[in-house]
Amino acid sequence: MNQMTVRIPFVDLKLQHLPIQTQLQQAINTTLERGDFILGRALSDFEAAFATASGTKFGVGVASGTDAIALGLQACNIGYGDEVILPANTFVATLIGVLRAGAKPILVDCDPQTALIDLEAAAKAITPQTKAIIPVHLYGQMVSPRQLLDFADTYKLLIFEDAAQAHLAERDGYRAGSVGTAAAFSFYPSKNLGAFGDGGMLLTRDADVAQKMVRLRNYGASQKYFHVESGTNSRLDTLQAAVLLEKLPYLPEWNRDRLTIAQQYDDELAPLAASGIMPVQNQSGSGHVYHLYVIKVNESCMSERQQIQDKLTAEGIQTGIHYPIPCHLQPAFTYLGYQQGDFPHSEKLAKEILSLPMYPGLSSSQIKEVTLAIARSVSTTLHPNQSPVSVGSKAA
């Protein structure tokens, strides 16, 4: 889509940053004045602040969310010969992180209503080599911590959370990053808490895991020029940490704004349920932080997902698909041995889901424009015996 034709963007970072532009510039200037660009003060301050905000003890900043998974699993002593369970419908970074750690990924299907990992399917995939499970807190909603903890206790598994989309999400009295032994976060610019480039962090309550992670991210060194691990170079830049530290106090407000937006979407789209348009189910109430607002265009809908997306595009409304191809069907990973049909819920969702514009500051009138555009795209292809739906109030 030509940028000039976009009326409602999928994400609007400029709108989010404008009110705090002065503070962000000052945070950058302070780092420039200090000159501590690698492992500097802003990084250690942000690591501590984000860990505290997330309800755990230690934070270790790294270069990306993918590194947080790969190095984090190694810090938890997960590697060669170990099997790690993860969902098939996640961004490939989760899978790549497991592979980079040297472990064997074991994919399982998801719950078709929430798109979160199906723990019953996970239970069937356990073998004597299974050492960990990675629950992906997808779209901003956590996998139930109570169920996860019971599952891990039953099967004696380590919980390693992929919380890349779930900054300060809550469920069952836990915050994302505080449930398992460790958790990986991404600070990609469009995340709920985003940097001005790539960045990631491992959170953990285990001091030994944190210390090993500190070594792994910095060439495996316990002190300068003394290397006790086969590590790498993966450090969250001090400049990025300074930006994130400045933005962190605003995150609860931004998350509340996302929830309000999601609730209006729910209300506006409710009349379209009979036409096959349904949001991915929220089972977390106000604890869902809605990194993405995702609807399903199910098989009862008279319009196909692509038709709806194309019509929204034509009206200047950007959308996304998260994700169009499940991990097991990606060409790069055919060697893992999975085939079409192995995970039917993930495969079906990949054909149905559509992510709508979602960001702090998205106005009520813009939300209504999006939902009216969806209603029009459905109504133009109604079966002759169907009646057009009215968007804007919940179905009776």
Cα distance between residue 306 and residue 352, in whole Å: 9
Domain residue spans of the chain: 13-250, 251-379
Q: Which residue out of 131, 191, 296, 348 is catalytically annotated?
A: 191
* pLDDT beyond 60 at 214: yes
DSSP-derived 3-state class of residue 279: strand
Exposed, middle or buried, 56 (CB in 10 Å: 0-12/13-18/19+)? buried
**pLDDT surpasses 90 at 30:** yes
Q: The domain at 13-250 falls in which architecture?
A: 3-Layer(aba) Sandwich (3.40)
Write down the pLDDT at residue 385.
39
- Say whether pLDDT at 362 is over 50: yes
| Bridge partner list, 90 | none
pLDDT band at 379 (very low <50, low <70, confident <90, very high): confident
The pLDDT of residue 1 is: 45
Note if 311 is an active site residue. Answer: no
Using a 10 angstrom Cβ sphere, with 0-12 exposed, 13-18 middle and 19 or more buried, the burial of residue 299 is: exposed
Neighbours of 344 (CB within 10 A): 11
Distance CA 295, CA 298 (A): 9
The answer to whether the bond into 323 is cis (omega within 30° of 0) is yes
Q: How confident is the model at residue 396 (pLDDT cuts 50, 70, 90)?
A: very low
pLDDT value at residue 217: 98
Q: Are 301 and 277 in contact, with CB atoms under 8 Å apart?
A: yes
Q: What's the whole-number mean pLDDT along residues 253-281?
A: 97
pTM summary value:
0.95
pLDDT at 382: 43
Q: Give the helix/strand (H/E) hosting 185.
A: strand 182-186
**Which band of pLDDT confidence, cut at 50, 70 and 90, is reported for residue 394?**
very low
CA distance 395 to 342: 36
**CATH class name, domain 251-379:** alpha beta
Give the model confidence (pLDDT) of 330-359 as tens digits: 999 999 999 999 999 999 999 999 999 999
Residue 311 confidence class, pLDDT cut points 50, 70, 90: very high
- Residue-wise pLDDT for 224-263, tens only, equals 999 999 999 999 999 999 999 999 999 999 999 999 999 9
Per-residue burial over 4-29, b if 16 or more Cβ lie within 10 Å, else e, is eeeebbbbbeeebbeeeeeebeebbe
Q: How high is the pLDDT of residue 390?
A: 56
Percentage of residues in the chain having pLDDT higher than 90? 94
Q: How confident is the model at residue 383 (pLDDT cuts 50, 70, 90)?
A: very low
In the chain, count of helices (H) and strands (E)?
13, 14
CA distance 183 to 325: 25
Say yes or no to pLDDT of 395 above 90: no
Reduced to 3 states (helix: H, G, I; strand: E, B; else coil), residue 115 is coil
